[in-house]
Amino acid sequence: MYRLLTFLLLTFYANCSYLVASEEFEERPLSAILIDSYQEDPIIPSQIPSIGRYTPAYDNKKVSEIAEISVYDEHSPKYVSLKAEDGIFEFIEKEEAEFRITNEKTDFLQETQKIAELAEFDNGRMDKVKSHQIQTAPYKFFGNILITFPHALNKRTSPVRCVGSGVLIGPNHVLTAGHNIYNHGRGGWAQEIIFTPAQHKEYKPYGEAKGVILRTFKGWIQGSGEGYDYDIGLIILETAIGYQTGWMSLLEPEETFLDLRPTLTIAGYPYKDVKLKTQDGVTKVKVAKMYKHSAPLKESQEMRLLYEINTLEGQSGSPIISFIKSIKTSFVLGIHTHGSTAANEGARLTINKFERILEGISRFRLPRPSLEVSLRGHENEVEDYLIDVSKKAS
């Protein structure tokens, strides 16, 4: 009896230790950073009775009037998207893609049982998010992510590019799927991340921002690609683009709220409308279109959310959001990670995940740019404005 009790206690503590370790962040810097640039700003969540704890959102209602003007090299490589065996589309230079299809036995276009987005619900319906919608909350907080991994799934000789989705949850913080920043089959940590919020076709109202620090849960890294409970990643951006766009509120949902089967929405950037081009020697997303779909929550589990919401490859990392009418606010409840024939799934924001993400936001928070810095590069426009004001005053 004593031995049995001892065994059970040791097993319990071992499981607890594993869970604690799984819910810690692993961190990967992509470039040198000035740690003094960040202001540690603890976030104190608020509480909505019977709904859950949440972080403050920020909505900069003014849409940027100075959009990025993209000039792409005329003779830059052409990219095509090929579906790998794990269902993720890899963007590969056209000539190399043709060579791979001709010379390799693997059929990259074949349907497999591992496809990330397999099921179709509501007759496969997905709605395009129109340009005027993207300029408003919550859609302007969503963006596409161009990811460069060390190598392709089945070809380890050169880097490969993939596309995912994500959402701003702080001035320089993007929440996405863990497999968008650490991919077991493509060499581990991403080598480069470029986030573009609110893009509509070629229009990028807020420009782009590079990721400088990547963080994902140990449970995802140690899970060998199957630890979907922890398939969440946090990208720290080099610039505080969120002060232009605003950002979303995170919600750690209570069971009483999830039992109501709230309507969920997923919006992101499917691969099928993404085109890449080279600009100043750097490959970027030239064209991208946002799609969305909504449905009631089908099932809530301790670590996951299940729903019959249509998604496509490229939308991994999209936020799972719910609009709460009583306070007229949308919240992020989790991150879309993968699909199956029964339901699509996402990693739920649990107590520990919520806390770890808040720590990352607080620790790596860039201050609001000063007026001098924010106007840098637009001196002529400011001068013209001041002259105009002076004339009117006289």
Band of residue 380 on the pLDDT scale cut at 50, 70, 90:
low
Provide mean pLDDT across the span 313-333: 94
pTM exceeds cut of 0.75 = yes
> Is 174 within the bounds of a domain?
yes
Of 104-113, 174-183, 224-233, 347-356, least confident by mean pLDDT is: 104-113
Lowest mean pLDDT among 16-30, 262-276, 362-376: 362-376
Torsion over CA: 129, 131, 137, 142 (sign): positive
20 touches 211 (CB < 8 A): no
Residue 244, pLDDT above cutoff 90: yes
Q: Is the dihedral of CA 130, 132, 135, 136 positive or negative?
A: negative
Given a cut of 90, whether residue 269 has pLDDT beyond it is: yes
**Banded pLDDT at 375 (limits 50, 70, 90):** very low
- Is 108 a member of any domain? no
pLDDT of the residue at 275: 94
105: number of CA atoms within 13 Å, CB side?
0
Per-residue model confidence (pLDDT) at position 180: 97
Per-residue pLDDT for 138 more than 60?
yes
**Is 250 within the bounds of a domain?**
yes
118 CB-near residues (< 8 Å, 6+ apart): 87, 339, 340, 341
Looking at the 3D structure of the chain, how many domains does it have? Answer: 1
Residue 248's pLDDT band (cuts 50, 70, 90): very high
Range of the domain at 254: 23-30+48-59+78-100+116-364
Report pLDDT digits (tens) over 142-181: 999 999 999 999 888 889 999 999 999 999 999 999 999 9
Predicted confidence (pLDDT) at residue 257 exceeds the cutoff of 60? yes
**Number of other CB atoms surrounding residue 283 within 10 Å:** 20
pLDDT at 112: 28
Q: Average pLDDT of 108-137?
A: 66
How far are the Cα atoms of 16, 44, 247, 330, 345 from residue 251, in angstroms, in the given order? Answer: 24, 13, 13, 9, 17
CATH number at residue 283: 2.40.10.10
Question: For 58, which DSSP code?
Answer: B
DSSP assignment string, 109-162: T---TT-SS----GGG--EEPPHHHHTSTTGGGEEEEEEEESS-SS--SS-EEE
Range with the lowest mean pLDDT among 7-21, 71-85, 311-325? 7-21
Contact 227, 338 (CB under 8 A): no
Most confident of 24-28, 124-128, 196-200: 196-200
Q: How far apart are CA 94 and CA 199, in angstroms?
A: 24
The answer to whether position 197 is within a domain reads yes
pLDDT at 231 > cutoff 50? yes
- Is 69 within a domain? no
* Contact call for residues 147 and 164 (beta carbons, < 8 A): yes
Please determine, for residue 106, whether its predicted confidence score (pLDDT) is greater than 70.
no
Distance between CA atoms of 200 and 63, rounded to whole angstroms? Answer: 13
| Residue 111 maps to a domain | no
* CA-wise closest residue to 369 among 246, 247, 245, 239: 239
Q: Which residue carries 């059929």 as its tokens?
A: 107
